[in-house]
Amino acid sequence: MKKWFKRIVIGTATLALVAVVGAALFLLTFDPNTYARKLEEAVLEKYQRVLTIEGDVELSLFPRIGLTLTGVSLSEPGSEATFASVDRARVAVAIWPLLSNSLVIDNVMVEGFGVNIVRNERGQLNFQDLLDGPADAPAADAPADPKADDAASHAAASGSERVRRSTMQIDIAGLDLRQGEIAFVDQASGTHVKLANLAALAGRVTFRQPFDFSLTGRLEGDAPHTDADLTANAVLMLDPDAMKYAVQKLDVQVTGALGRATAEPLSLRGNLTYDAVERAFRIGSGELAFRGQVETGEGLLEQIESGLSMPAAELDLSSKMLSGASLAARAKGQRAAESFEFALDLPKYALGLDEVRDTAATARFRLFGAGRTLDAQLNLAPIQGEKGVFRSDSLSIDASLEQQGRKVGMALVSPAQFDTGETHLSMPDLTGQAVLEADDASLTIPLDANLQIKGKAEELALDLAAVLEPAPAPAPAPAAESDADGDTAAGDVAAEAAEPAKPAPVIEGPGRTAELKATLKKWSAEPAFDINLKAGRLDLDRLLPFAVAFAAAEAPQPQSEEGADAAGQEAAGQADAAADKTDTEPTAEQPATAPAVTAQDKAAQPEKPRTVYAGKVQLAVQQLIFQGQQIDDISAQATLRPHDLQVSRFGLRAYGSALTGKLSLGGASAEPDQWHLTLQGKGLEMQPLLSHWAGFDYLSGAAELQLDLRGQGLEPAYWLNTLSGKARLRMPDGKLHGIDLGELARLDDLLQRKGVLSAGDGVARLTEFKALDAALTFDSGIGTIDRLTFSHAAVTFRNSSGRLDLPAGTLDLTTTARLNNVSISTGGVKTTVKRLDVPLRISGPWSGLNYQVQWQGLAEGALKGALAPLLQGLLPGSESAAPDAAATPAEPAASASGSARQRVEDLGKALKGLFGK
């Protein structure tokens, strides 16, 4: 026994000595840098990447196996560009646990590391080769065997093959990553961001045991602009035996600029588990929240609070299906003076790229504030489908816009189908109605449409039919007959108790339906549309009040009652003063009632965005009602280009005339709201036209009108000040109402009124003329009269000049009225002037023109010679004057001297009346 014991002791000592000597020899002769060079050669051979270890590899064996590396870098495949680098890394492994098949690492420290991730235009990542294995692996050249793949999948799914036991247990005392940087470049989208100042810490890492993990860093980038802090905390658990990995209590916070968004912060919370055997991610209590602001093309969205909640969900990578019991998204915020709210709910969902099962959805969007409220709701019946084609029995949209007591509502429903391959949305049986409400009026417009949207081909097609007029009311039911006791049936009593509905008016004339066909193509590059509208009858008086009410919200708010009263009194006082001044002494120019638009005002106006759409519009309306006027047979063809709108031809019938013309808006070198209009028409009834559009009706008759005008703006207060061009009006005959120009031929009566012609006394005063021809040239809203020809039985106009001020609504015309066979009598003496030119001035506002004879010019003209016989007849002892027809032949001689004195007095009065003294 002692002999064997001695042998064992000697053997053990010998082995220990050999081990010590061997370890000493190994430490003295082993050079780890030699193996580093071999590792570099192996990496280059298998991956075509250059592995560089610049510093010496430091190795220690006792009391722990320690490895320290410095200046390590790995290149891109086939390139010298750096993919990853580490300034310094150190790993320390305990020796004795290795003998029991356990790997215990005291700590792992990595300092100054960097990774450059690049995704090329084909969507491939620059580290895909490292995941796939060496390029020369035999499996890469082996032909695919579907049966083998199915068998392998079945084996992976079976319980006996699921568990792969690890032969070594790993225990890492700590993980410390410092001064790291991860850069990402997407060549397809141009994205370039990086995670800088990256630091990560982990507690004790042991399989099947949870451990803490934390990460901090800063997101930076210029495409898009990124400057935000990142923090992440979680509890991790690794189970390589069961191939399950879990992230519990995940809390990620990002604060700062993220492109157009500013997060305050963006947070992600929840639990995540990955099962590598089943290839499935499971999400529990998942929440994604954002608080901050977002800059959009339409303005800044502020005070945003949004969130996405997924209580329980599963993402199956094998079937590429995301499923769960519920999903909810909420958002609210502020845009300028308006607030918005959004809600989306999926009670149950199963969403995949190629299959969707039993997924219903409801959504709602509200925009309120600034005097208006927009409310839109969407309800989608459960979706079913596979192979990229999904169907729903019902997709309904219910939307309303309410503003200043007006409301526009729309309710639409249709079965829907969506093809993911062609990105084609089809709603072939879209039915519903639009409801317009304003004050106490309402209008319901039934709709029937077919909508097709093809995203891949970038085509949209809409066929819409709308009933724009109410249907004729049914004939009223006959009154119920009572029995002998005077009682009626219970149903008749209820009918009588209800207030009878007012029957809708019966529409006569053209049909009640409007048909719209519209297409839109290539909306992402060069959008082009084609619109064709046909309607039998369009009553804009029923439709426009609702639209005008919404446009009025952009107008300035009305004054208070005190301010309105003061402004009204001031305006009334100015109007009275102007009227008095016009009656007594008309001035050459009347003050403008509408403010002129200055260059500064124009520059201060916000620049209108220019549309990039182009297309064609065709319009055909049999009957149009606008402001109580009926316009028939409207047709137009228009072309919209990126910088202008050209209406190459339009025609209509209104006011007894067929009008044709052209219209252009904008241009390559013009402002978007600059326009050019040409219009021609014959047989145009002037009185209803002027009464409706100008507010006066003292000109009647059929006229020929020619316009060639340019201007800018769509509001009268603006375009009246910019109007330029030419206008021509010709009337073979007509009437002037409220004025009798024949009074000019009765000069003796006119003297009693100091040369002021009576006007505005109603239809009793009338001038029937034989011809009127007027030509004007406009500049900045002021029309200069180039030619005016007026022919009357007793009066014709010659040498006319003046101006028409459209912004002020005034006329200032000076003309010469030529009179024939004018009779003048005073003081019992009468004379006749064969031809007399009377200077006449017509001035004042449209509503009250003033007609005034210019006596100074008259006295210096033809009337000067005509007064000679009249004055001689008034002088005493004159024999040349013809006696008054009313005088008595046997007049006493004693009265001769008195009669002479009376004639002298009459002469004085006549001269005073003549010259206004």
Confidence at 559, pLDDT banded by 50, 70, 90: very low
Asked if 230 and 202 touch (Cβ cutoff 8 Å), the reply is no
Mean residue pLDDT across the chain: 76
pLDDT tens for 214-260 read 999 999 998 899 999 999 999 999 998 889 999 999 999 999 999 99
Confidence at 11, pLDDT banded by 50, 70, 90: low
- For position 365, what pLDDT does the model report? 96
- Pairing outcome for strands 355-369 and 244-258: unpaired
pLDDT tens for 183-208 read 999 998 889 999 999 999 998 888 88
Asked if 626 and 548 touch (Cβ cutoff 8 Å), the reply is no
Rounded-to-5 percentages of helix, strand, coil across the chain? 20, 50, 25
Residue 129 has pLDDT above 70, yes or no: yes
Residue 449 has pLDDT above 90, yes or no: yes
Q: Which of 386-400, 498-512, 662-676, 897-911 has the highest mean pLDDT?
A: 386-400
Encoding tokens for residue 108? Answer: 């792992």
- Pairing outcome for strands 355-369 and 372-386: antiparallel
Asked if 248 and 271 touch (Cβ cutoff 8 Å), the reply is yes
d(CA 697, CA 738): 9
pLDDT tens for 594-640 read 344 444 444 444 444 444 678 899 989 988 887 777 888 989 998 88
pTM of the model: 0.61
d(CA 284, CA 263): 24
- Give the SS3 label for residue 346: strand
Query: At residue 916, what is the residue type?
Result: G
Asked if 904 and 874 touch (Cβ cutoff 8 Å), the reply is yes
- The single-letter DSSP state of residue 898 is H
Average pLDDT over every residue of 36-40: 82
- For position 415, what pLDDT does the model report? 95
Residue 561 has pLDDT above 50, yes or no: no
Question: DSSP labels for 416-439?
Answer: EEEETTTTEEEEEEEEEEEEEEET
CA distances from 286 to 254, 267, 316, 548 (A): 17, 11, 17, 47
Confidence at 553, pLDDT banded by 50, 70, 90: very low
Of residues 586 and 904, more confidence is placed in: 904
- For position 227, what pLDDT does the model report? 95
Q: Locate the DSSP E strands across 370-423.
A: 372-386, 389-403, 406-419
pLDDT tens for 753-772 read 555 555 544 445 788 888 99
Residue 58 has pLDDT above 50, yes or no: yes
Residue 503 has pLDDT above 70, yes or no: no
Residue 145 has pLDDT above 70, yes or no: no
- For position 154, what pLDDT does the model report? 44
Residue 18 has pLDDT above 80, yes or no: no
- Pairing outcome for strands 614-626 and 528-539: parallel
Q: Which of 9-13, 342-346, 574-578 has the highest mean pLDDT?
A: 342-346
- For position 479, what pLDDT does the model report? 47
Residue 877 has pLDDT above 70, yes or no: no
Confidence at 747, pLDDT banded by 50, 70, 90: low
d(CA 285, CA 306): 16
Supply φ then ψ for residue 11, to 5 degrees.
-65, -40
Identify the weakest region by mean pLDDT among 94-98, 105-109, 412-416, 908-912: 908-912
Asked if 171 and 103 touch (Cβ cutoff 8 Å), the reply is yes
Of residues 890 and 441, more confidence is placed in: 441
Confidence at 268, pLDDT banded by 50, 70, 90: very high
d(CA 68, CA 772): 108
- Give the SS3 label for residue 146: helix
- Give the SS3 label for residue 697: coil
Of residues 195 and 168, more confidence is placed in: 195
